[in-house]
Amino acid sequence: MTISPNVVRHRAAVIRSRRETQNGHMSVNLWFTGLSGSGKSTLAHAVEERLHLMGCRTYVFDGDNVRHGLCGDLGFSLDDRSENLRRIAHMVHLFLDAGVISLTAFISPLHADRQRVKEIIGEENLIEVYCKCPLEVCEERDVKGLYKKARKGEIKNYTGISSPYEPPTSPDIVLKTDEQSLNECVKIVIKELKERGIIL
Q: What is the pLDDT of residues 11-38, one digit of tens each?
A: 778 999 999 999 999 999 999 999 999 9
Contact 165, 159 (CB under 8 A): yes
What's the pLDDT score for residue 84? 87
**For this structure, is 108 an active site residue?**
yes
Average pLDDT in the 97-112 region? Answer: 96
Model confidence band, residue 6 (pLDDT cutoffs 50, 70, 90):
low
Report how many helices (DSSP H) and strands (DSSP E) the chain contains, helices first: 8, 5
The partner residues of 102 in beta bridges, in order of sequence, read 29, 59
Name the catalytic one among 36, 38, 41, 108. Answer: 108
Comparing CA positions, the residue from 141, 158, 200, 177 lying closest to residue 44 is 177
- Of 4 and 164, the one with more pLDDT: 164
User: What whole-number distance in Å separates Cα of residue 16 and Cα of residue 157?
Assistant: 39
**Total-model pTM:** 0.90
Q: Taking 90 as the threshold, does the pLDDT of residue 199 lie above it?
A: yes
The partner residues of 129 in beta bridges, in order of sequence, read 32, 173
User: What whole-number distance in Å separates Cα of residue 23 and Cα of residue 4?
Assistant: 32
What's the pLDDT score for residue 179? 97
User: What whole-number distance in Å separates Cα of residue 18 and Cα of residue 102?
Assistant: 18
Q: Which domains does the chain have, with CATH numbers?
A: 16-133+164-191 (3.40.50.300)
